[in-house]
Amino acid sequence: MKKYKPKKWFIYARLVSAFLIIFTFGRGTNVVYNKVTTTNNHETKMLSQAIILDNKEEIYVDENPVLNKYMNLPEKGFEVTIDNKKYEMSEEDYNLLVSVVAAEASNSIDDTLAVMSVILNRADKRNLTPVEVVTAPGQFAGYFNYHYFNYLNEDGSLRDVTKVNAIKDVVNDALNGVRNNNYYGFRSWGTTSYSDNYIVERGNRYN
């Protein structure tokens, strides 16, 4: 029996058909792959943005350790900010300011920052220096009652005591733009009729 041999045109046709099928399938695979890749990239980008937004505050705090240093109490009007006006002072004025703040604030760094914030809020509003604010007639009992002398040596330098050193640290932060309130006044803890806004028990009351 004579063995059947397919004609050349038939072989070529089958080869061309196979090539077209492979080419078409390959293009389809690439399109699907590209679509999936694009979608995944978009989803990854969206997820990354969501993670950054969700953790923006934590990242900001990590990059600005001073924000972890002080307490926030927004319901009482206390929230730490770091981009406020900065002040430069002479050594004499600085020592006077620190001594007055030491006489006015409690031992809490948060209450100390609150006192400094009031002083600098007034300085901003009235275009005064911090020392002009604390030495204004009848404004700060720590000054006009001479209590600030308790924190100064005879030569005008600051006494090397624990409270003064803690106060200096807070005053330095405040002069470099850190504040924790927008108040313009305060009274001692015992003046309950003045305000219920305070950041620590036994500290000052702010308004």
Predicted local distance difference test score (pLDDT) of residue 65: 82
pTM score: 0.71
Write the CA distances from 54 to 2, 43, 45, 74, integer angstroms: 80, 16, 14, 20
Query: Residues 78, 80, 86, CA angle at the centre, nearest 5°?
Result: 120
**Helix ranges (DSSP H) in 80-128:** 91-104, 109-126
d(CA 18, CA 5): 20
d(CA 41, CA 33): 12
pLDDT tens readout for residues 78-114: 999 999 999 999 999 999 999 999 999 999 999 999 9
Confidence of residue 11 (pLDDT cuts 50, 70, 90): low
Q: First and final CA of the chain: distance in angstroms?
A: 115
